[in-house]
Amino acid sequence: MRVLGIETSCDETGVAVVDGERGLLSHALYSQVALHAEYGGVVPELASRDHIRKLLPLVRQALDEAGTVPSDLSGVAYTAGPGLLGALLVGAGVARSLAWAWGLPAVAVHHMEGHLLAPMLDADPPDYPFVALLVSGGHTMLVDVQGLGRYRILGESLDDAAGEAFDKTAKLLGLGYPGGPALAKQAEHGDPGRFHFPRPMTDRPGLDFSFSGLKTRALTALRDVHSEQDRADVARAFEEAVVDTLVIKCLRAVEDTGAARLVVAGGVGANRRLRVRLREAAEARDVSVHYPALEFCTDNGAMIALAGMLHLQRGEAEDLTIQARARWGL
Ligand code: KG4
Ligand code: ZN
């Protein structure tokens, strides 16, 4: 079975072809980061228009690079939500139209399911069951994954997502968009002992998160701050606090479920300090940690093609209605 996958939920246009036996055959990605940078964040209308411009050329590129023609395909998968509604509608409209024209089934994929299945693109994928930490710009959640489609949310953010907190704090630090990688870079030169930020909601039981207070804490710290070094110290304290909080909750989730594997996915999963700390802490408890390749940590078409293929293999496809949901529970 061979499936074309389309991702347009936010500011990346991603298209990929996945094969049931040979794995990922091609993936093409266009990032709109430069388009939104001057506005300091994603402008939904501009995102939709750019997806329209880029999507069909990327479909052609992904098919060519995979040496695939439409008659080789078994289906077209697309991100149906959650995300920016206009952006989702572009992907959904194009995917459904191609599927209809090529006489194929279309599969609506949940964006977060795409992220949590991304490690399955690996040559050595983790076995089920596992606990997944999904940390992106829009979501922070811990999920107990028993198998395909068998997901139980253990905890999630009550306010800002981890990536959103990185982006907002980076803005306070005068860093560009997207802020996460820029803040992490600045934090490298920071003194971890200079400021102490709280580890929100770790002093009580439960697996929910709250990151908006850290941004306020950064704002307070920045009042007496003038030099580049001062700013690096604030960035470091913020990053330490987010990473520590995520590590504490992951270990708690692993303990609660008795899982032997932890999967980390979503854009913040690219954070180096998080990767190092989590691996050390988990391995000390005989828990293995799996990360998707860096390029599949952030939004991409490959994870959507894969999730779509796994659902199609179970005989799941949809009728002709175009699905797109800005909000959609996992
Ligand atoms: O998964 P993703 O590409 O898109 C969403 O679905 O949101 O995640 C993007 C988020 C952004 O908030 C970005 O700042 C954050 O991931 N991010 C990072 C790093 N790389 C990306 N945050 C911290 N450290 C990084 N190295
Ligand atoms: Zn995402």
Taking only the tens place, the pLDDT of each residue in 276-309 is 999 999 999 999 999 988 889 889 999 999 999 9
CA of 206 to the centre of ligand 1 (A): 24
Higher pLDDT, 38 or 268: 268
Examine the domain organization and report whether 270 and 308 are in the same domain: no
pLDDT (0 to 100) of residue 41: 82
What atom in ligand 1 is closest to the CA of residue 162? 12
Examine the domain organization and report whether 91 and 135 are in the same domain: no
Examine the domain organization and report whether 144 and 236 are in the same domain: yes
Distance CA 172, CA 141 (A): 25
Please report how many Cα atoms fall inside a 13 Å half-sphere around the Cα of residue 43, on the Cβ side: 11
Distance CA 151, CA 237 (A): 33
At residue 299, φ and ψ (nearest 5 deg) are: -60, 140
Examine the domain organization and report whether 278 and 255 are in the same domain: yes
CA of 116 to the centre of ligand 2 (A): 10
Mean pLDDT of 138-147: 94
Is 322 part of any domain?
Answer: no
Q: pLDDT digits over 51-93, tens only?
A: 999 999 999 999 999 999 999 999 999 999 999 999 999 999 9
CB-based contacts of 49, cutoff 8 Å, min separation 6: none
Examine the domain organization and report whether 193 and 48 are in the same domain: no
Distance CA 64, CA 42 (A): 30
Distance CA 165, CA 159 (A): 10
Evaluate if residue 164 carries a pLDDT over 60.
Answer: yes
Boundaries of domain holding 164? 127-291
pLDDT (0 to 100) of residue 321: 64
CA of 287 to the centre of ligand 2 (A): 25
Specify the pairing of strand 106-110 against strand 75-81: parallel
Q: pLDDT digits over 3-34, tens only?
A: 999 999 999 999 999 999 999 999 999 999 88
Examine the domain organization and report whether 155 and 53 are in the same domain: no
Ligand 1 pocket list (CB less than 6 A): 10, 136-138, 163, 166-167, 178-181, 184, 266-268, 270-271, 298-299
Examine the domain organization and report whether 169 and 81 are in the same domain: no
| pTM, to two decimals | 0.90
CB-based contacts of 148, cutoff 8 Å, min separation 6: 117, 128, 310, 311, 314
Mean pLDDT of 304-323: 84
**Which strand (E) or helix (H) includes residue 18?**
strand 12-19
Is 319 part of any domain?
Answer: no
Examine the domain organization and report whether 113 and 133 are in the same domain: no
What atom in ligand 1 is closest to the CA of residue 164? 12
Mean pLDDT of 136-163: 94
Mean pLDDT of 162-174: 95
What atom in ligand 1 is closest to the CA of residue 299? 3
pLDDT (0 to 100) of residue 151: 95
- Candidate from 298, 303, 327 with most ligand 1 atoms within 8 A of CB, to mutate: 298
Structural domains in the chain (count): 2
Distance CA 14, CA 299 (A): 7
pLDDT (0 to 100) of residue 319: 61
Q: Is 269 helix (H, G, I), strand (E, B) or coil?
A: helix
Is there a binding annotation on residue 137? yes
Distance CA 7, CA 301 (A): 5
pLDDT (0 to 100) of residue 320: 56
Distance CA 14, CA 34 (A): 16
Is 318 part of any domain?
Answer: no
What atom in ligand 1 is closest to the CA of residue 9? 6
> DSSP readout, 189-253?
TS-TTT-----TT-SSSSS-B--HHHHHHHHHHGGG--SHHHHHHHHHHHHHHHHHHHHHHHHHH
Rg (CA), the chain: 20
Q: Average pLDDT, whole number, for the chain?
A: 94
Distance CA 42, CA 214 (A): 22
Is 329 part of any domain?
Answer: no
What ipTM does this complex have? Answer: 0.98
Mean pLDDT of 321-327: 77
Structure tokens at 257: 């479920």
Is 325 part of any domain?
Answer: no
pLDDT (0 to 100) of residue 330: 85
Instruction: Starting from the CA of residue 269, give the closest ligand.
Output: 1
Examine the domain organization and report whether 138 and 283 are in the same domain: yes
Is 324 part of any domain?
Answer: no
